[in-house]
Structure 1
């Protein structure tokens, strides 16, 4: 089974870890709009793709006896290296030496013993901007917020996002050709979980990726978050996540929506929202830990298997 997962950060890490239970043929397509922390510093100083989300995807697909732990280590202290993850610096070096993000990620994957592939959403850094309400005395006033970190942490309500090339703001972002080919040739494509406006939706705003998601013959599965994210989706119901997905990509059809049974207070509303996208709803116990705010990889893998089998049965 050829599986492709689109996203970024910890959400994509959870999906990739689950997919490893199902298949060895996994491709991660990763957002490249991060402008904070170590990734933001390297992006600004070197003009490279922000490496943090790419690093997380690599370590999710790495073998247990690999350099994954070393890649995730962050330098402490207060010097120039403070806060940088070793993997971010390695990726930055590979990107500078090889000059080709796909080749750089392939070399990092070889070093880590990765089974599968990690690809950037675009071959150049991207910028996110959002229309946000609730930041002024008049709650209907719309302000434009720029930058992934600013959008993710805004105290207002995000209404809509746009995606731009960091260097060609008057042109739409261009997709990584290998990522487009992976989506078109997949058997299963996953969107979510993750930061909805800054990790999940951006893939739908890259024209070539959007068209690939529309036309792929793959089974398309949306995995919903377990809890709303402060800033981005505070106060969002599970069905509101699907509504926003549809608003940003009206032509997108989905085959299955997976949600944790304890995270859905009104299943009928979520079912109707899923059906509006052409999808069947699958409620399962996929959360782990006492807080219930992260996905259990084995449980999510079992739920994905059931969803795929159900879609194929239909």
Structure 2
């Protein structure tokens, strides 16, 4: 099975960890709008793609049940202290070096994948760093405010209504998709959106025109994986079905085949099922959270629910 997962950060890491249990042919398509932390510093200083989310995706595909290789561990190592390297992950610096030496982020990511022994691929959604802009209410006198930057959008105390993407170096130009990412979506057997920061990691992929069109046109089975809990700031107070409504608002032509959600995270299953049907798909509810209370997806449980959503095993609900 050729699987493609789109997202960023810890949410994409969860999806990739589950997909590794199903197939070795996994491609991650990663958002490139991060402007915080180590990624933001490297982006501002060197003008490169922010490497943090790309590094996380590589680490997810490199992980092994026995703890992984030394290189995978070093890749994730973050420097301490209080000097110039404080907070930088080794993998971020390595990717920045590869991007500069090869002058091609896709070639750099492929080299990093070879170093880590990865069989799949990690691709940026665009070869140029992008910037998120959000329309937000609740900040001042009921007016709509516009705020820019992933960190600002993710941490706003207001209510995010819509997001858009811009190329800060060429403000009049639409975001350009990575050609390899578009090809991967079109040739995939299954495509996955989410979980993750809804407005800053998941929806941005739908705002790159060529990538959006590929997601609409692909014959792949399209699966949306919902978050376990609303995210403070971005989606505070959102119901599971509200996430789908926002998805439709940003990409009304997109149809999906399945929506996966944690059973204990859905207060009103009937509403989620209706929202999934409105997008052309079916809701699959299962216990897919870890049992340690940390609010993360369990890779084995999520992989099992993906099998069900793809029709590889009998539905648990149908079996009862």
Cα pair distance change 1:242/1:311, threshold 3 Å: farther
Q: Of residues 96, 104, 124 in structure 2, which corresponds to 1:100?
A: 104
The residue correspondences of 1:203-222 to structure 2 (distance < 5 A) are 203-222=205-224
Cα pair distance change 1:312/1:245, threshold 3 Å: farther
Q: Supply the RMSD in Å over aligned alpha carbons.
A: 1.3
The residue correspondences of 1:131-210 to structure 2 (distance < 5 A) are 131-136=135-140, 138=141, 140-210=142-212
Give 1:30's aligned residue. 30
TM-score by length of structure 1 reads 0.97
- Partner SS, residue 294 of structure 1: coil
Deviation, structure 1 residue 166: 2.3
Residue 49 of structure 2 contacts residue 129 of structure 2 at CA under 8 Å; is this kept in 1? yes
Give 1:4's aligned residue. 4
Q: Does 1:44 align with 2:44?
A: yes
Residue 256 of structure 1 contacts residue 311 of structure 1 at CA under 8 Å; is this kept in 2? no
Q: Which whole-Å deviations, capped at 9, do the CAs of 1:133-155 have from their partners, x for residues lacking one?
A: 0111x2x3110010000000000
Deviation, structure 1 residue 65: 2.1
Deviation, structure 1 residue 289: 3.4
- Partner SS, residue 287 of structure 1: coil
Deviation, structure 1 residue 169: 1.1
Q: Which whole-Å deviations, capped at 9, do the CAs of 1:155-193 have from their partners, x for residues lacking one?
A: 000000000112111111000000000000000000000
Give 1:67's aligned residue. 71
Q: How many residues align?
A: 311
Task: Provide structure 1 residue ranges, at least 5 long, that are not aligned to the other structure.
Answer: none
Deviation, structure 1 residue 229: 0.3
Give 1:17's aligned residue. 17
Residue 219 of structure 1 contacts residue 311 of structure 1 at CA under 8 Å; is this kept in 2? no
Residue 66 of structure 1 contacts residue 113 of structure 1 at CA under 8 Å; is this kept in 2? no
Residue 31 of structure 2 contacts residue 124 of structure 2 at CA under 8 Å; is this kept in 1? yes
Question: For the residues of structure 2 that align with 1:311 and 1:234, how far apart are their CA atoms?
Answer: 34
The residue correspondences of 1:220-299 to structure 2 (distance < 5 A) are 220-291=222-293, 293-299=295-301
- Partner SS, residue 231 of structure 1: coil
Deviation, structure 1 residue 290: 2.8
TM-score by length of structure 2 reads 0.95
Cα pair distance change 1:312/1:207, threshold 3 Å: farther
The residue correspondences of 1:71-82 to structure 2 (distance < 5 A) are 71-82=75-86
Question: For the residues of structure 1 that align with 2:287 and 2:143, how far apart are their CA atoms?
Answer: 40
Question: For the residues of structure 2 that align with 1:311 and 1:215, how far apart are their CA atoms?
Answer: 26
Residue 308 of structure 2 contacts residue 314 of structure 2 at CA under 8 Å; is this kept in 1? no
- Partner SS, residue 136 of structure 2: strand
Q: Does 1:120 align with 2:98?
A: no
Question: For the residues of structure 2 that align with 1:119 and 1:83, how far apart are their CA atoms?
Answer: 24
